[in-house]
Amino acid sequence: MTSVVFALVDCNNFYASCEKLFRPDLTHTPVVVLSNNDGCVVARSKEAKKLGVKMGVPVFQVRELLQKHGIVAFSSNYALYADMSQRVMSTLEALAPRVEVYSIDEAFLDLTGVGYSQNLTEFGLMVRRTVQQYTGISVCVGIAPSKTLAKLANHAAKTWHRTGGVVDLSSTVRQRKLLALLPVNEVWGIGAKLTKRLQQLGIDTALQLADTAPEFIRQHFSVVVERTVRELNGESCIALEEMAATKKQIVSSRAFGERITDKQQMREAISEYISRACKKLRQEQQQAKLLSVFLRTSPFSDKDAPYSASKSIELDTPSNDTRVFLAKAMQLLDAMWVNGYRYAKAGVMLADFYDPGVYQPGLFDEPIVQRETDQKLMQLMDTLNSKQGKTLWFASQGTKQEWSMKRELLSPAYTTDWQQLPLVK
């Protein structure tokens, strides 16, 4: 059996890099990107990292720091990031035979066999140069015989500049050298909770974890952690998956820009989320049978009384018709709504998916009637809204949407909207 080789390509400070791309005036300026509602810092340029802005901190806690150093903040601009991501990914697809898009800013490449004809580090450098040239985005490349090791190689490439942004961990000696340097929580799949439990067993570094017997780990933790141990030893247990798996659930939820206390506003918000979720469901060419709706007050406030509720309902037959889910969602809301709370967030979830036409009704169920006109109506809505911007929506979604999220620092949709193309003067 030939041994496999993976590369992990990860964009550097992706959201911040996207924002800088169209603002050459900010090339050397510290930049941060904020989460929805401008709530937390979710990305930082290297200058901002140097100034000590931590990942995930609430903005109000670092407002002074931002001001003091002239750090420029942006609201999340997903239209821009998704488009730039596609450009990076299609560049990678032209360079490697098999690519797994792992997240908006990361991809695994299958480099099995590449090492016979060329130096793997050279190959990594070529990937870096090409992506930089084609998209303006800088990436780091980690190469190793398992995904978990490739992740760590990438981490090393990002951390140590002398590597030139590419680390090849093919040799066992180099693997062990790196593992000895890294704390166990840097390992892919080892989060805060597992780190604590591992430390109690005296396992502090990635190397110590790698050197623990898989059977012991299986006994005290789970198969997942056992797999991680094997992967750290260069045994590939997690395969490359080119095809995006079909989704098992679709969630649409948002924290509100301002707290909701009025039921009519909540109806609008839920309607909006239903409409988004159903649109996604149709894009997946799936139908769903299960709907859940939830709402809650802020978990951070100790002043407001806490309230959180969630309810589900199962349809008789799967559907992807927005109107069907809207009606059910309003019933669920009626059953959960309590006056007097300051609601901070709500959302909907679709689950239990079927391919259209596959669902087997029970013997005594009503026969399924899928009217063609219903399908056409939904299709028309989707087409119109994607071509012309949001032109067609349900009255229950409301027109003003006063509860909608805050995005006060949003950059233009430079690459996806004709009206907002950058101009060269």
Partner DNA sequence: TCTGGGGTCCTAGGACCC
Q: In this structure, which long-range contacts are made by residues 110-115, counting pairs with CB atoms below 8 Å and at least 24 apart in sequence?
A: 110/4, 110/5, 110/6, 110/240, 111/5, 111/6, 111/7, 111/143, 112/2, 112/3, 112/4, 112/5, 113/2, 113/5, 114/5, 115/5, 115/170
Stretch that binds DNA, among 107-115, 183-191, 203-211, 407-415 (CB under 7 A): 183-191
Q: Tell me which of 69, 174, 230, 254 binds DNA, using CB under 7 A.
A: 254
**What is the rounded distance in angstroms from the CA atom of residue 115 to the CA atom of residue 266?**
57
**Interface with DNA, residue 298, by CB under 7 A:** yes
Q: Tell me which of 19, 105, 110, 168 binds DNA, using CB under 7 A.
A: 105
Q: Tell me which of 90, 159, 222, 379 binds DNA, using CB under 7 A.
A: 222
SS (H, E, C) 336-370: HCCCCCCEEEEEEEEEEEECCCCCCCCCCCCCCCC
**Interface with DNA, residue 249, by CB under 7 A:** yes
Instruction: Show contacts with DNA in window 5-44 (CB under 7 A).
Output: 35-37, 39-40, 42
Stretch that binds DNA, among 89-97, 208-216, 251-259, 321-329 (CB under 7 A): 251-259
Closest CA to 408 of 78, 79, 77: 77
Stretch that binds DNA, among 85-93, 249-257, 327-335, 394-402 (CB under 7 A): 249-257
Nearer to DNA by Cβ, of 258 and 374: the residue is 258
Nearer to DNA by Cβ, of 38 and 47: the residue is 38
DSSP 8-state class, residue 12: T
Closest CA to 284 of 253, 314, 249, 257: 249
Residue located via tokens 């480099």? 111
Locate 4 and state its tokens: 């496999």
**Interface with DNA, residue 255, by CB under 7 A:** yes
**Interface with DNA, residue 315, by CB under 7 A:** no
CB of 405 to DNA, least distance (A): 6
DSSP 8-state class, residue 423: P
Nearer to DNA by Cβ, of 42 and 181: the residue is 42
Residue located via tokens 């309230």? 307
Stretch that binds DNA, among 20-28, 85-93, 133-141, 188-196 (CB under 7 A): 188-196
| Per-residue contact string for residues 333-352; x = within reach of DNA by CB under 7 A | -----------xx-x-----
Nearer to DNA by Cβ, of 37 and 415: the residue is 37
Residue 72, classified by CB atoms within 10 Å of its CB into exposed (0-12), middle (13-18) or buried (19+), is: buried
Which contiguous run of DSSP H or E holds residue 193? helix 192-200
**Interface with DNA, residue 49, by CB under 7 A:** no
User: Are 319 and 370 in contact, with CB atoms under 8 Å apart?
Assistant: no
Size of the site for DNA (CB under 7 A): 47
**Interface with DNA, residue 190, by CB under 7 A:** yes
| Per-residue contact string for residues 59-78; x = within reach of DNA by CB under 7 A | -x------------------
User: Are 110 and 98 in contact, with CB atoms under 8 Å apart?
Assistant: yes
Q: Given the rule CB under 7 A, which residues bind DNA?
A: 35-37, 39-40, 42, 56, 58, 60, 102-106, 151, 187-195, 222-224, 245, 247-255, 259, 276, 280, 298, 300-301, 344-345, 347, 405
